[in-house]
């Protein structure tokens, strides 16, 4: 419970208060169905629903305060109305105050970029936990408070959820929190009010243009995270990415870089690479890691840089990093008793798919087939579909286009868009099977001992969404079932 004036205290927002001046607030809500006695309701104007239309109903249920950008025609004198320019942008600041600014009591590190966010944040969590620190994690795969795990709903959840999670982290004695920062979260103000110890940038490639509309807007969204980092924090960027330097242009944070191909503050060299892991040379120390591929060399170097900037000694970092396991659904290798090798990966962007296929082709002997099973998500960026189709067909011996999470689109329509990107010389290598389970089974049936099957797009996900219904579906479980059937 907190009084309204305490929630509004020191908030850098243009606002006016009407009605009741200082009611007691019991909770913050975005969903009008959750209204109860003492709640503060944020009337966000969404793309399809305007929260303002629910103001009267939440008041009837006992709400004490309304944050809005348009005042109702009739004001209830017993209700506090906080008029702001943008309700969505105000939410983070007010949520941080309501939960007593938990991010200021943690060493909060945000990781942004198109690919690698989940791997970097997850390994940072594992690394610092293995060193004896109590840590929190907010990622695409899961939310973790100490050792307690919760199902993730968004890459970066809404500000109420973020601050509630961090408040619980503080209560449980956590000192660090590692968090994925999506481009959506920056634009929508979900990270407003958070105090970061530092941030890191992995890479930038084609994604989310259904939301951002242009690649320039996408770049600005990522850069917006670094623009908000305070003086005294650190900003670490991938110097090998052409957009890496852009991220640092206006930040007040101390600037650092990492790279495999450029002179940078943190560098590494790949000594060996196979399906079991990587041998890297970091600061004259040769260390074996369980992660696979050049893209993971970047991820590991990013983790190394963040850990060093957080004050951990170099030898301790590499020693503990070498013990860390792979992240679920990220280049996860499964083997059948008959000798098939299957790789499950979350790759759902052209660049991520290219990285995974380049890694496989670099490691494989070329005496075996590489069969790729891949789809694209529905109701998402359509521009990347032909590019993903082109990459998959070009870099595999055989490719099966299938469904991913078609959502409210027809899987067949998505597959047709993927097919448009395929080079004519690669048409003969492509099959189209809309049923994902059948596509995976076909890939297994087409394979022989030593062949490699890449199942891309869903990774850690344990469901498939079709027409608004989520049904259980885990690529790893499906593969294990099929291995048993065909052996």
What is residue 210's predicted lDDT score, i.e. its pLDDT?
55
Longest dimension (CA), the chain: 78
Report residue 77's pLDDT band, with 50, 70 and 90 as the boundaries. very high
Phi, psi at residue 280, to the nearest 5°? Answer: -115, 150
Per-residue confidence band for 86, with pLDDT thresholds at 50, 70 and 90: very high
pLDDT classification of 214: cutoffs 50, 70, 90: confident
- pLDDT value at position 207? 53
Hey, what's the torsion of the CAs at 65, 69, 70, 75, to 10 degrees?
20
- Other beta carbons within 10 Å of 76: 16
Tens-place pLDDT, residues 16-71: 999 999 999 999 999 999 999 999 999 999 888 999 999 999 999 999 999 999 99
Q: Which helix or strand (DSSP H or E) is residue 391 part of?
A: helix 384-394
Can you give the pLDDT at residue 48?
A: 84
**Is the confidence at residue 209, as pLDDT, over 60?**
no
Confidence of residue 325 (pLDDT cuts 50, 70, 90): confident
Domain map (residue ranges) of the chain:
2-93, 102-321, 332-486
Topology of 102-321 in CATH? 3.40.1190
Q: Which CATH class is domain 332-486?
A: alpha beta
Residue 91 DSSP class: H
What pLDDT is recorded for position 213? Answer: 54
Q: Does the pLDDT value for residue 420 go beyond 70?
A: yes
Residues in the chain: 487
Q: CA–CA separation, 10 vs 19, rounded Å?
A: 21
Of all residues in the chain, the percent with pLDDT exceeding 70 is 98
pLDDT of residue 13: 84
- Domain 2-93 annotated CATH 3.90.550.10: no
Res. 301: pLDDT tops 90: yes
pLDDT for res 47: 80
Segment 287-291 mean pLDDT = 95
**What mean pLDDT is predicted for residues 257-282?**
96
Confidence label for 206 from pLDDT (cuts 50, 70 and 90) = low
CB count in 10 Å sphere of residue 304? 25
Q: What average pLDDT score do residues 174-184 get?
A: 95
Contact between 301 and 309 under an 8 Å Cβ cutoff? The reply is no
Tens of pLDDT, residues 384-415: 999 999 999 999 999 999 999 999 999 999 99
Phi-psi region of 269 (alpha: psi -120 to 50; beta: other; left: phi over 0): beta
Q: Over 90: is that where the pLDDT of 127 sits?
A: yes
Rounded CA-CA distance 336/343 in Å is 11
The H or E element that residue 50 is part of is none
Q: Phi and psi (nearest 5°) for 354? A: -60, -45
Which ranges in 207-313 belong to alpha helices (H)?
Answer: 209-212, 215-227, 294-309
* 118 — pLDDT class (breaks 50, 70, 90): very high
Q: Does pTM surpass 0.85? A: yes
User: What is the share, in percent, of the chain residues with pLDDT greater than 90?
Assistant: 88
**Mean pLDDT, residues 376-385:** 92
Tokens standing for 418?
A: 């993927």
Taking each helix axis from N to C end, the angle separating 411-419 and 384-394, rounded to the nearest 10 degrees, works out to: 60
């Amino acid at each position: 419970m907190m009084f309204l004036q305490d929630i509004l205290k020191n908030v850098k927002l243009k606002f006016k208060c009407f009605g009741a001046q200082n009611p007691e607030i019991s909770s913050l809500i975005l969903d009008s169905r959750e209204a109860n006695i003492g709640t503060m309701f944020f009337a966000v104007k969404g793309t399809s629903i305007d929260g303002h239309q629910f103001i009267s109903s939440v008041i009837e249920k006992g709400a004490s305060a309304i944050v809005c950008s348009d005042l109702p025609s009739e004001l209830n004198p017993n209700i506090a109305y906080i008029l702001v320019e943008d309700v969505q942008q105000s939410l983070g600041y007010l949520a941080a105050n309501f939960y007593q600014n938990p991010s200021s009591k943690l060493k909060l590190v945000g990781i942004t970029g198109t690919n690698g966010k989940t791997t970097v944040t997850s390994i940072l969590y594992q690394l610092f936990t293995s060193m004896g620190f109590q840590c929190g994690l907010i990622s695409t795969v899961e939310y973790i408070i100490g050792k307690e795990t919760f199902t993730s709903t968004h890459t970066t959840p809404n500000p109420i959820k973020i601050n509630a999670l961090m408040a619980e982290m503080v209560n449980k004695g956590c000192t660090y929190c590692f968090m994925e920062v999506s481009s959506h979260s920056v634009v929508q103000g979900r990270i407003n009010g958070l105090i970061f110890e530092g941030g890191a940038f992995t890479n930038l490639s084609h994604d989310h243009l259904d939301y951002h509309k242009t690649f320039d807007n996408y770049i600005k969204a990522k850069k917006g995270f670094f623009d908000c980092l305070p003086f005294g924090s650190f900003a670490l960027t991938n110097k090998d990415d052409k957009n890496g330097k852009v991220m640092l242009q206006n930040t007040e944070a101390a600037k650092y870089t990492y790279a495999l191909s450029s002179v940078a503050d943190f560098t590494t060299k790949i000594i060996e690479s196979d399906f079991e892991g990587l041998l890297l040379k970091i600061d004259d120390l040769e260390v074996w890691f369980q992660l696979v591929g050049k893209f993971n060399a970047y991820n590991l170097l990013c983790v190394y840089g963040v850990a060093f900037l957080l004050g951990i000694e170099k030898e301790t970092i590499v020693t503990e990093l070498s013990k860390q396991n792979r992240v679920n659904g990220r280049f996860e290798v499964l083997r059948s008793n008959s000798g098939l090798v299957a790789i499950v990966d979350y790759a759902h962007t052209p660049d991520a798919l290219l990285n995974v296929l380049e890694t496989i082709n670099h490691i494989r002997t070329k005496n075996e087939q590489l069969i790729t099973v891949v789809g694209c998500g529905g109701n998402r960026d359509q521009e990347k579909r032909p590019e993903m189709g082109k990459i998959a067909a070009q870099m595999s011996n055989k490719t099966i286009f299938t469904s991913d999470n078609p959502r409210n689109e027809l899987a067949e329509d998505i597959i047709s868009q993927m097919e448009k990107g395929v080079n004519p010389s690669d048409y003969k290598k492509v099959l189209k099977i809309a049923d994902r389970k059948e596509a995976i089974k076909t890939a297994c049936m087409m394979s022989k001992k030593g062949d490699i099957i890449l199942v891309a797009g869903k990774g850690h996900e344990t469901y498939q969404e079709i027409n608004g219904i989520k049904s259980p579906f885990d690529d790893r479980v499906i593969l294990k079932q099929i291995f048993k059937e065909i052996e």
